[in-house]
């Protein structure tokens, strides 16, 4: 299967978060379906309110040991001033994603199929980073069927 989109490949920082309720992305570049939000806010640590710019679907490629997997996530909030993009572990649990712990890594599986592998990063070693690239425009990607999954 060949996926053709518009621009070039972009590295992105996406982190698995155990305490967030929603999926939240900082850049609209990763949205494949997008609706602007008007006067919507969420509360983050310390009861700070930040605005929701929009919401929709995002799509990105996750690096796995044997290549890449195309991941599409639904109900993503676009939060401009968040700092990093976050994937909610609790939201994944609700979608029947299983987490397997290996040393300093987590492997996330759905129906026995590996979705992504995260590793502890950061100066404190407390953030689980998901290695991936965005599906940007004007770029063609070669993927294998059925190696794509939607959540």
Three-state SS letters, the chain = CEEEEECCCEECCEEEECCCCCEEECCHHHEEEEEEEEEEEEEEHHHEEEEEEEEEEEEEEEEECCEEEEEEEEEEEECCCCCCEEEEHHHHHHCCCEEEEECCEEEEEECCEEEEEEEEECCCCCEEEECEEECCEEEEEECCCCCEEEC
Is residue 132 within 8 Å of residue 13, measured between CB atoms? no
Which is more confident, 12 or 64?
Answer: 64
Closest by Cα among 77, 73, 69 to 59: 73
pLDDT per residue over 129-146, tens digit each?
Answer: 887 776 654 455 444 444
Kindly report the pTM of this predicted structure.
Answer: 0.73
Rounded Cα distance, 102 and 29, in Å:
32
Rounded Cα distance, 95 and 123, in Å:
31
Can you give the pLDDT at residue 3?
35
Can you give the pLDDT at residue 30?
84
Q: What ranges do the domains of the chain cover? A: 2-150
- Asked whether the predicted pLDDT for residue 38 surpasses 70, the reply is yes
Residue 144 exposure: Cα atoms within 13 Å on the Cβ side: 4
pLDDT per residue over 72-116, tens digit each?
Answer: 889 999 998 888 888 888 888 888 899 898 887 888 898 888 888
Can you give the pLDDT at residue 27?
84
Can you give the pLDDT at residue 1?
30
């Amino acid at each position: 299967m060949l996926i053709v989109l518009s621009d070039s490949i972009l590295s992105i920082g996406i982190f698995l978060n155990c305490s967030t309720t929603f999926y939240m992305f900082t850049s609209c570049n990763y949205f494949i379906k997008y609706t602007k939000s008007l006067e919507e806010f969420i509360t983050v640590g310390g009861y700070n309110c930040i605005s929701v710019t929009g919401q929709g679907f995002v799509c990105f490629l996750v690096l796995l040991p044997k290549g890449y997997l195309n991941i599409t996530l639904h109900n993503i909030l676009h939060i401009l001033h968040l700092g990093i993009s976050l994937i909610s572990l609790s939201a994944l649990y609700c979608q029947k994603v299983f987490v397997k712990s290996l040393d300093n890594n987590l492997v996330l599986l759905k129906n026995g199929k590996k979705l992504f592998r995260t590793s502890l990063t950061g100066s404190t070693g407390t953030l689980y980073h998901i290695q991936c690239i965005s599906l940007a425009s004007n770029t063609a990607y070669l993927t294998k069927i059925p190696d794509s999954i939607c959540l």
